[in-house]
Structures are given as structure tokens and as C-alpha cells.
Amino acid sequence: MTTQHDPIDPVAPEGVDLERPNVARVYDWFLGGSANWAIDREFGSQVLKQFPEVKTFARVGRDFLGRGVGYLARQGITQFLDIGSGVPTVGNVHQIASAINPDSRVVYVDIEPVAVAHSQLLLEREGLLGRHAVLQGDVRDPADIWKRALETGVIDPRQPIGLVLVGLLYFLGPDEPVYEMVQRYLDFLPSGSYFLSSHLTEDGVTRKEGDNRENVQELYKKTSAPFHLRSRAEFTAFFDGLELVEPGIDWMATWHLDEADSRASDRFADDPTFTGGLGGLGRKP
Ligand SMILES: C[S@@+](CC[C@H](N)C(=O)[O-])C[C@H]1O[C@@H](n2cnc3c(N)ncnc32)[C@H](O)[C@@H]1O
């Protein structure tokens, strides 16, 4: 793999590491965005060879996020803390929430400078900075993220909050205190708040020809953030102490399809297990 820059690539903003493919930028490429560099696209093409459905999978994840936020907005949740928010592409949390409750407020957090810079730019362009905010931070530090999220003034800690950790927890390995970390965030939230999350799994997944997903996991070891699969039971344990919204932990491709159309998910209607993506939403009593 080369670190040569493609002539069509923009100059990388400060702090952007072009030595390794970056998971936020690769995901952006899967979704058809432009916040990626040659090294990310080369890597994404290697993944595509091992797992030709990967772009549709990314779309399924994004659609799940949108349906979860739409559901929450309809329950009257008007403030969101979206961690691991990624490069904004289509259907961003503030857009979905505001379409339902125009006074919605969102704090975005991501570890990757390009994701933060693009979110900042989008909010500036839409004239929404102030009502929404973006922070660079590591989800592994709940106290720091919570403190800085409140300092933005965007979130009122006395009112229910939608905590969104979608497409994120699998970047934290088995040796990290991931359950304690999620619990810290849940402890901060007032009663009536919700936790929306998703995870990759091998549990109950059917395999089709040309599906070499274990090679994808191997490839990701070269990136900024290798990923780790969890079983359905391990994912469910993140929701301990919460009331799971029906239908409970489900395949992302089928969770609350009533919320919005999802052409990507429809592709997997005959076998949603194939996506290997689980999703769930829990309410803090
Ligand atoms: C697969 S993308 C998901 C983006 C978005 N949540 C979605 O579902 O469309 C994962 C995002 O998590 C971010 N991320 C990875 N590790 C992180 C960490 N330790 N703290 C904060 N963000 C992280 C990556 O930079 C990337 O933007």
C-alpha cells in the first residue's frame, strides 16, 4: 500500500494521519462521501474484494441510525449526544431530529479530525453552530466527553437525552473496560433518556459465496482502529438496567423498518442475518 496522494485529493487538514487508512474516512468512502484520501480508497477497494456487499452494509448501518433517531424524536427526545458520529454524509442526526422537532439539539463527538472538521463545516454552512456543537474526543473518556458536552451549553442535563453509540463499540477491544465505560455514560443521563447502539457479530450469521468477512477483520488490523466482534448476548449486556424498546435486540436491517424507507435494508429482507449487524434501543427508567 502506498501513501502517495492522489492528484484529486485535497490537502489534508492538520492532524490528519495519511500513513494509515482511517476507519472514519474509509466508512465515508463506502457511503460515497468525499472526505477520504487515496490510502483510504485503496484500503476500501481491498475490503470490497473480500466482501462485495460492504457498501450496502455501510448504508444499512446509516439507515439504522436514522430510524433510531427518528423514533426517538417521535418520543419527544430533542437532545442527542452522538459519539463516533463520523464524517457527515447523508441523514445526519441533527437533520433527522430537526425535521421532526425543529428545536432539537445535538453534540457530535469523534476522535478523527476530518470527521470533526467536516461536521463543523456543515453546521457552519447550515448556520446551526450554537444550537449544535462538535467536539474531538475519545469515547473511552466519559468524564471528559460529558464535561465538555455540557460546556457547549447545547445539552441540558436535566432533560432526557438520546445517547447514540452507533457503529462504534466494535472498535473497542475485549481487553478494554467497555461495559464500565457505557455504564458511566448511562449514569450521567437523567431518567427517561435513551441509549441507541449497534454492533457487528458472527452470532447467527449466514454465509454466502464470496463472503470472506474474516479477511476483512484481518485487513482492519492495518487501520487506525481494528474491530472486534461480540456475540448477541455480549451486545445485549450493554443494555443492562435499561428497558429495551420492542422488538429488543434485532438485526439492524429489520429494526423498526416502519420508521423510514430503507432500500439498503430491503436488499437483505430475505435474510437480515447476513448483514451481521445488530441494533438496539434502551430507555433509562
Ligand atoms: C463506522 S463509523 C460510524 C459513524 C456513524 N456513527 C454512523 O453510524 O454512520 C465509526 C466512527 O467512530 C469513530 N471512532 C472510532 N474510535 C473512536 C473513539 N475511540 N472515540 C470516538 N470516536 C471513535 C471513527 O472515527 C468513525 O468516525
C-beta of residue 205 within 8 angstroms of C-beta of residue 268: no
Backbone phi, psi, residue 171, to 5°: -85, -5
The model's confidence at residue 7, banded by pLDDT at 50, 70 and 90, is low
Instruction: Tell me, in angstroms, the distance from the centre of ligand 1 to residue 151's CA.
Output: 22
For the domain bounded by 56-210+232-283, which CATH number is listed?
3.40.50.150
Is the distance from the beta carbon of residue 62 to the nearest atom of ligand 1 less than 6 Å? yes
Backbone phi, psi, residue 135, to 5°: -130, 145
The confidence score (pLDDT) of residue 261 equals 75
The confidence score (pLDDT) of residue 266 equals 79
The model's confidence at residue 40, banded by pLDDT at 50, 70 and 90, is very high
Is the distance from the beta carbon of residue 27 to the nearest atom of ligand 1 less than 6 Å? yes
- Mean pLDDT, rounded, for 82-93: 93
Domain positions in the chain are 56-210+232-283
Cα 129 to Cα 28: distance, rounded to the nearest angstrom: 22
The confidence score (pLDDT) of residue 8 equals 61
Cell numbers representing residue 82 in the block: 452522538
Strand partners of residue 113:
none
User: pLDDT tens-digit profile of 253-276?
Assistant: 999 988 887 777 777 777 888 888
Q: Which residue has the higher pLDDT, 283 or 274?
A: 283
**Percent of the chain scored above 90 by pLDDT?**
72
Is the distance from the beta carbon of residue 141 to the nearest atom of ligand 1 less than 6 Å? no
User: pLDDT tens-digit profile of 147-184?
Assistant: 999 999 999 999 999 999 999 999 999 999 999 999 99
Cell numbers representing residue 56 in the block: 450496502
